[in-house]
Amino acid sequence: MDIIDDAVNSLLRYDNYIMTTHINPDGDALGSLTGLGLALFNMGKNVVMIMPHSIPAAFQFLPGARQIKKVVDHLAGFDMAIAVDCTDLNRIGEGVREVFCRTENIANIDHHISNRFFGNINVVDPKAAATGEIIADLLQKAGISIAPDIATCLYTALVSDTGSFKQQNTTAKSLRTAAFLLDRGAQHRVIQRNLYEQKSLESLHLLASGLESLSLNESGTIAWMSITRKSLKDSGASVEDTEGMINYVKSLKGVEVGILFKEATNGEINVSFRSNDYLNVNQLAAYFGGGGHERAAGCIISGEIKEVEYLVLQKTEEKLYDQYCGRAIR
Amino acid sequence: MDIIDDAVNSLLRYDNYIMTTHINPDGDALGSLTGLGLALFNMGKNVVMIMPHSIPAAFQFLPGARQIKKVVDHLAGFDMAIAVDCTDLNRIGEGVREVFCRTENIANIDHHISNRFFGNINVVDPKAAATGEIIADLLQKAGISIAPDIATCLYTALVSDTGSFKQQNTTAKSLRTAAFLLDRGAQHRVIQRNLYEQKSLESLHLLASGLESLSLNESGTIAWMSITRKSLKDSGASVEDTEGMINYVKSLKGVEVGILFKEATNGEINVSFRSNDYLNVNQLAAYFGGGGHERAAGCIISGEIKEVEYLVLQKTEEKLYDQYCGRAIR
């Protein structure tokens, strides 16, 4: 049985659709929303796409992005509500959730393993690298022609959620779907430029200063980087430019925990933790009043940056020692 | 006519092969060398793989890497000499070149547009993203089974030369070849870890110093970065650690040409060029006696780094002006 084959007919039989994706939308969320939205539109359906949050600059180039509305102007009259890339209805913006609850047919198209199967139709495939991959499959199986604009949206979804096919979720199927989308006219160059080549000189100068501060503990298992108020000011970059810098910290050979210290204007220190294979950084962050996931967490600590670094590093060494000695690793 | 179909039989009919790739080998060079080398070996051929230069740490994991020899211990007795990813015989190490010249049959498998067709058999396809893509095709068309080790070598070649499918040379065919190689057992996670997550603290400190030097011309269309002997020494990094730094240069918003200047120990300056959309940097590099592709090329210039920077930037401005004004762009 193929979940997609089953869903195709029940998904595409209506005339009036409302669609949304999760709040704080990323590339898979927006690429999937616009990709499926434009496909339904091209089929002659009425489609309202909603995203109450603002669309990150990197994804504003997406065909269909301008057709996404912030608020719903009518609550009823939809035959079907489709949520893409959403684990559950709590990840949908408040105003939209109301419309979803009033609509008889809810379709839930997603690839998260934690999906709650909240739809009448649930097309959930955790093996798919991106929700965009599922939608490409669905349109193909429905025999719907994929116009270049749609291909661009879905390719963006795939590239975003696989880190350009670097991440472990990348499968042969993801790559074949990407090839198919290029054949259908996905604008590879436009996507790359918007996703990866819009850096400012200031942000790269800030990265330089961050990398300069990069340090390792004696055993080479903990690495950390500090972004001070001074380095922000000297580079002329903004706090948003620190996005992704933690990845450099954990790309070091042999490192288990990467830590990023960011000095905020109010004197507090934002601390981000990432671990590669075994340390539960959620517990570590919780010790300092923060939280997150096992491999990615954070907390906020008041104090001088050097003091906070000392405190956090000491605790990290301790946790690492406890956990490392507690079980056999690698 | 398909150049690969024609070449298959004449390439695979012999018993004793010597193989090499270009000096200062990269991932495509080494992945192609070991991929084809192991395939011939699995067919029961005698294969000697030669690379006089040392193999960068990132590629030492390649299956077959340990079988690569530094020097040839016998000059004669080879039925065929194969060069992979080499534009011409000058890109082959000196000792190896002698053997090539003594061997009756030379095969030249490459994807560089500047290839000199120096073989008796030339399998040259500038549309291929990597030489590894051509070799995967060749083995498939020859009906040779691709073992997981060979798939890992060829996947590494493809990923290296496309920047994990980010670069413009990425085609639907590249992605399909990658999918095929994953199906054949290419070790995605192992490749990723070795290529992208084995950074040394020294290399990231060198990157810091490179990013600090990052500059833009007045119009913001040319960006450049310089790696001096001093920054290499201060960071404790090696020349190999400059690999990939050029991508930071061309990731700046609005930049058409990215240039990386590297000061070599012998006082020569290695210059790498990348262009984003329209400048033919192959021509630019050729002006200085170098070459490469339209969007990626390089040359070596003698002189003080500041002088060379001035010279190259002036010429780049000129070419950019000529080409920009010569045709309507964007």
**Domain boundaries along the sequence of chain B:** 3-196, 201-326
> Could you tell me if A248 lies within 8 Å of chain B, comparing CB atoms?
yes
Three-state DSSP state, A84: strand
Nearest to A176 among B166, B176, B204 (CB): B176
Q: Give the sign of the dihedral formed by CA A125, CA A126, CA A130, CA A131.
A: positive
Q: Give the tokens for residue A111.
A: 């690839």
pLDDT in tens, B29-66: 999 999 999 999 999 999 999 999 999 989 999 999 99
The ipTM is: 0.86
d(CA B40, CA B147): 12
Pairing of the two strands A296-302 and A268-275 = antiparallel
Q: What is the pLDDT of residue A16?
A: 97
The b-or-e profile of B239-262 (16+ CB within 10 A means b, else e) is bebbbebbbbbbbbeebbbbbbbb
Q: What is the pLDDT of residue B325?
A: 67
Q: What is the pLDDT of residue A329?
A: 42
> Could you tell me if A219 lies within 8 Å of chain B, comparing CB atoms?
no
Three-state DSSP state, A19: strand
Tell me if domain A3-196 and domain A201-326 are identical in fold. Answer: no
d(CA A69, CA A54): 10
Instruction: Please list every residue in chain B whose beta carbon sits closer than 8 Å to the beta carbon of residue A251.
Output: 196-197, 199, 204
Instruction: Please list every residue in chain A whose beta carbon sits closer than 8 Å to the beta carbon of residue B200.
Output: 252-253
Pairing of the two strands B68-69 and B16-21 = unpaired
d(CA A16, CA A43): 12
> Could you tell me if B46 lies within 8 Å of chain A, comparing CB atoms?
no
- CB pair distance less than 8 Å for A198 and B172: no
Q: Give the tokens for residue B126.
A: 């500038």
CATH topology of domain B3-196: inorganic pyrophosphatase (n-terminal core) (3.90.1640)
Three-state DSSP state, A81: strand
Contacts within 8 Å (CB) and 24+ apart, B285-289: B287/B315, B287/B319, B288/B312, B288/B315
Q: Which residue of B has its CA nearest to A209?
A: B208
Q: Does domain B201-326 have CATH number 3.40.50.1240?
A: no
Instruction: Please list every residue in chain B whose beta carbon sits closer than 8 Å to the beta carbon of residue A204.
Output: 211, 214, 248, 251-252
C-alpha gyration radius of chain A? 22
Q: Which of A253, A256, A275 to mutate to test the interface with B (most CBs of B within 10 A)?
A: A253
Bridge partners of A83? Answer: A20, A108
Question: For B114-123, what is the mean pLDDT?
Answer: 95
Cβ distance A231 to A203 under 8 Å?
A: no
Neighbours of B132 (CB within 10 A): 37
Q: What is the least distance, in Å, from the CA of A242 to any CA of chain B? A: 15
Q: What is the least distance, in Å, from the CA of A182 to any CA of chain B? A: 6
- CB pair distance less than 8 Å for A252 and B204: yes
End-to-end CA distance of chain B: 35
Instruction: Please list every residue in chain B whose beta carbon sits closer than 8 Å to the beta carbon of residue A214.
Output: 201, 204-205, 208
Question: For B74-94, what is the mean pLDDT?
Answer: 93
Nearest to A199 among B196, B205, B252 (CB): B252
DSSP of A195-232, one letter per residue?
A: HHS-B-HHHHHHHHHHHHH-EE-TTSSEEEEEE-HHHH
Nearest to A252 among B167, B199, B208 (CB): B199
Q: What is the least distance, in Å, from the CA of B93 to any CA of chain A? A: 31
pLDDT in tens, B160-196: 999 999 988 999 999 999 999 999 999 998 999 899 8
Q: What is the pLDDT of residue B326?
A: 56
> Could you tell me if B197 lies within 8 Å of chain A, comparing CB atoms?
yes
- CB pair distance less than 8 Å for B166 and A196: yes
Q: How confident is the model at residue B242 (pLDDT cuts 50, 70, 90)?
A: very high
Cβ distance B242 to B227 under 8 Å?
A: yes
Q: Give the sign of the dihedral formed by CA A101, CA A105, CA A111, CA A116.
A: positive
> Could you tell me if A207 lies within 8 Å of chain B, comparing CB atoms?
yes
pLDDT at B327 over 60: no
- CB pair distance less than 8 Å for B252 and A200: yes
The b-or-e profile of A110-127 (16+ CB within 10 A means b, else e) is bbbeebbebbebbbbbee
> Could you tell me if B189 lies within 8 Å of chain A, comparing CB atoms?
yes
Cβ distance A109 to A131 under 8 Å?
A: yes
List alpha helices for A75-147, DSSP H: 94-102, 131-141
Q: What is the least distance, in Å, from the CA of A17 to any CA of chain B? A: 32
Q: What is the pLDDT of residue B243?
A: 85
DSSP of B237-289, one letter per residue?
A: --GGGGTTTHHHHHTBTT-SEEEEEEE-TTSEEEEEEEESSS--HHHHHHHTT
Q: What is the mean pLDDT of each run of 10 residues along chain A (330 residues)?
A: 78 96 94 98 97 92 96 90 95 91 95 92 95 97 95 98 91 98 97 92 97 96 96 92 90 94 92 90 93 86 96 96 60
Three-state DSSP state, B234: helix
Cβ distance A139 to A42 under 8 Å?
A: no
